[in-house]
Structure 1
């Protein structure tokens, strides 16, 4: 593991030479940018010595001690291997590996139902590969489940196979080189098996904390998740040590979120601002073959928080212009806006399934972040002919029971 810890404040180099280690080719431009910004870059694997000092070891074994007034931990996470499954580590790969393959993965089994699992399965199917997704329980846990179902339905219509309610128990290499996977059907309790060229594990991620020697600095972690415990200021149990991004407990595992949290932390440490990261209404998009963008609460979360009688959901099935021209199936293109029922009906969440969902969601996220109401959205003039204009035309509520299918322009 290579720890990318940021050292903020007055820093002393107690053991290393002045020359910077040569960075890998993939980091060339980033490192060059860092150097131009007069930030000293060390390509080392680091761990804490005490609460103010880390020790880094370079590839040649050379050790470097670095001390700082403030230390920021931003080591992120890596895909998890299900080590309890026989053959998982020996014969499987993760999303980190698939882009390094020198040959086609061929017939692929993707185990998991996270956005990583569905995105990988989606592009593998798009490349014409025989792709199967094995789901133990529900797809896209933590996302709106109606939208998640539409995502997987569209993927299935495009050729991705789904094994639902199944969990793998063993992976073995056959004499012909193929992988034989054995799994249990959790509904029937029966065992089944199939053969694949590649098994891709997408069963979650683990934070890069185990080799940081956090105990030497007194930094507390959640013993179950191994994520670092932080407060609203990104501060750990040690006041001058901070943690941002995937490595921190309770934070969204999203790169743009970590970047913004890091910028705000740097501004606070430099005395330029007192603003803290607001983790409410963070937009994101799942880049499956039919993109799913969302911001705010899911319908389930809104009902749980406010009660079904206080929530109004406006929705529509629509057909994008580019689908009409190409005569593509648009039956899963769907939008819903989750609002408070009481006027002016504050928007609690927006869910968009269709082409360029990320672009659409990014625009509406600003309004929702600013406290937009349903009334304000309905007063917004749509741009024709776009998919985004359908958001400003959501007139039919689920409560009404009327058909939400858009029938004209």
Structure 2
């Protein structure tokens, strides 16, 4: 809180930014107070909200360390450093057992929900300092960094099998059913193209060159298996407890872990990080879950998919269609509206045009309404009925495999977040966080693809996880930068970009303010 004319000891411009040495000394002092006391209240003596909070803790019989910033010689500087640590400029600024509670309203809400009473317990009452839910790239990076900083850490990771029964090991989407196998299959397609191109450079060979799907997938799965093992070994070396169970909050600071046999175990922790990632979305039409596959299934598919219909126009759809065509398969892409939504549309159409020139067929402005099995087999035969998005026209086609790539849903709805009051976007399932990845519940954080309005990229999740652990347990301040991160789409014509698309830049800054170069 700040009152007119009572702005404490806010410094003049010449002295408001302390030297880095003085600032670091002050930061250590603040962190020492937080580490050394059960409750710390950064207050101002004239602030009525601060008075309410102090009276609350007094009524609970809890002794507090109170620092009145308007009476402290370094008060303005303390408030400045506090705002860096907590992303909160106002008072009261409250910590309970090293957890940043927030201000007056948050503290009273926590008291009403019972969370405050839970937080007032000693940290030693918890089994772990940190439990990470999700064993993907971001979760593992966070867990290992926290362990390096001397904390007792557990990782809970459980892959719910896809409707086709596909499951996998430690490492998350990227390692098992995303970036790694995708790039390897893309490389397989590039090698085939290089073979064809080599004739123009003098290479002569007479035998027919064919691609063996089984050989490729076995090699890819062997590589993924070695990565799964290396992750488990790394956790073991850092003394991180790994539990292959499904995590679900049952009360504040307490989680239920259910293994494949249905056995339940309960664990408690001072802090939690949610890093559960996303899973492919289904259409909700007849036959989709029974007969279609997704990227979860494709990379370990034990048979060649044959003539394939890819439904969707995301980067996952175009990448998969590209390498399937590259290994010699008949591929069609069904597009509802535009290619590569969110990317620059001029470049997206260049990618699409290149793919068409190299044999990929496109069905534009159609959506599927039914998938019917005509023949069983590996692969079998499927009939797909689709309707136009612009009129009454319907079409039918017969394919061996139908691959859905229409987007992904956050894995946040069945882990008990509502039990402890973590807010999510009800429509998307995404979790809103502040700029230090803190959710609406002070001791719960989130990273990776489940964050609302943040980039869904593996290196970003890894960086966010490491920086979060360092802020929570290492006294560091650096936050993850989600702006202007480069990315690449591994379609046959590879496309890299950084920053806003032309469409988004026009929306944000208006066309008259943009320069073409």
TM-score (norm 2): 0.56
Task: Say whether the 8 Å CA contact 1:11–1:69 is kept in structure 2.
Answer: no
CA distance in structure 2 between the partners assigned to 1:12 and 1:32 by the alignment: 15
Verify: 1:119 aligned to 2:322, yes or no. Answer: no
Q: 2:433 aligns with which of 196, 215, 230?
A: 230
CA distance in structure 2 between the partners assigned to 1:69 and 1:10 by the alignment: 11
CA distance in structure 1 between the partners assigned to 2:263 and 2:231 by the alignment: 23
* 1:62 to partner: Cα distance: 2.8
Match of 1:357 in 2: none
* 1:153 to partner: Cα distance: 0.5
Match of 1:344 in 2: none
Task: Say whether the 8 Å CA contact 1:169–1:183 is kept in structure 2.
Answer: yes
Task: Say whether the 8 Å CA contact 1:80–1:203 is kept in structure 2.
Answer: yes
CA distance in structure 2 between the partners assigned to 1:161 and 1:272 by the alignment: 55
Q: 1:53 aligns with which of 238, 251, 254?
A: 254
Verify: 1:216 aligned to 2:414, yes or no. Answer: no
Match of 1:301 in 2: 504
CA distance in structure 2 between the partners assigned to 1:278 and 1:51 by the alignment: 30
Verify: 1:69 aligned to 2:270, yes or no. Answer: yes
* 1:60 to partner: Cα distance: 3.0
Residues 127-150 of structure 1, C-alpha deviation per residue, up to 9 Å, x if partnerless? 100000000000100000001000
Moved more, 237-246 or 44-53: 44-53
* 1:61 to partner: Cα distance: 3.0
CA distance in structure 2 between the partners assigned to 1:140 and 1:12 by the alignment: 39
CA distance in structure 2 between the partners assigned to 1:156 and 1:276 by the alignment: 43
| Pairs within 5 Å for 1:12-91 | 25=225, 27-83=228-284, 85-91=285-291
Match of 2:331 in 1: 131
| Pairs within 5 Å for 1:3-402 | 3-4=134-135, 25=225, 27-83=228-284, 85-175=285-375, 177-314=380-517
Task: Say whether the 8 Å CA contact 2:375–2:382 is kept in structure 1.
Answer: no
Higher helix share: 2
Task: Say whether the 8 Å CA contact 1:3–1:45 is kept in structure 2.
Answer: no
* 1:186 to partner: Cα distance: 1.9
* 1:11 to partner: Cα distance: 5.5
* 1:175 to partner: Cα distance: 4.2
CA distance in structure 2 between the partners assigned to 1:290 and 1:278 by the alignment: 29
Higher strand share: 1
CA distance in structure 1 between the partners assigned to 2:488 and 2:153 by the alignment: 42
Higher relative contact order (CA 8 A, sep 6+): 2
Task: Say whether the 8 Å CA contact 2:153–2:240 is kept in structure 1.
Answer: no
**Structure 2: 5+ residue stretches without partners:** 1-132, 155-168, 171-224
Classify the secondary structure of the residue corresponding to 2:516: strand
CA distance in structure 2 between the partners assigned to 1:11 and 1:216 by the alignment: 25
CA distance in structure 2 between the partners assigned to 1:109 and 1:219 by the alignment: 39
Tell me: CA distance 1:273–1:10, structure 2 relative to 1, closer, same or farther (3 Å): closer
CA distance in structure 2 between the partners assigned to 1:278 and 1:154 by the alignment: 34
Task: Say whether the 8 Å CA contact 2:153–2:241 is kept in structure 1.
Answer: no
Match of 1:351 in 2: none
* 1:121 to partner: Cα distance: 0.2
Classify the secondary structure of the residue corresponding to 1:174: strand
* 1:188 to partner: Cα distance: 3.5
Task: Say whether the 8 Å CA contact 1:12–1:66 is kept in structure 2.
Answer: no
Task: Say whether the 8 Å CA contact 1:236–1:243 is kept in structure 2.
Answer: yes
How many residues are paired up? Answer: 303
CA distance in structure 2 between the partners assigned to 1:297 and 1:225 by the alignment: 22
* 1:306 to partner: Cα distance: 2.2
* 1:106 to partner: Cα distance: 0.2
Task: Say whether the 8 Å CA contact 2:334–2:366 is kept in structure 1.
Answer: yes
CA distance in structure 2 between the partners assigned to 1:279 and 1:290 by the alignment: 26
Residues 344-400 of structure 1, C-alpha deviation per residue, up to 9 Å, x if partnerless? xxxxxxxxxxxxxxxxxxxxxxxxxxxxxxxxxxxxxxxxxxxxxxxxxxxxxxxxx
Larger Rg: 1 or 2? 2
* 1:271 to partner: Cα distance: 3.0
Classify the secondary structure of the residue corresponding to 2:296: helix
Task: Say whether the 8 Å CA contact 2:438–2:444 is kept in structure 1.
Answer: yes
TM-score (norm 1): 0.71
Task: Say whether the 8 Å CA contact 2:282–2:289 is kept in structure 1.
Answer: yes
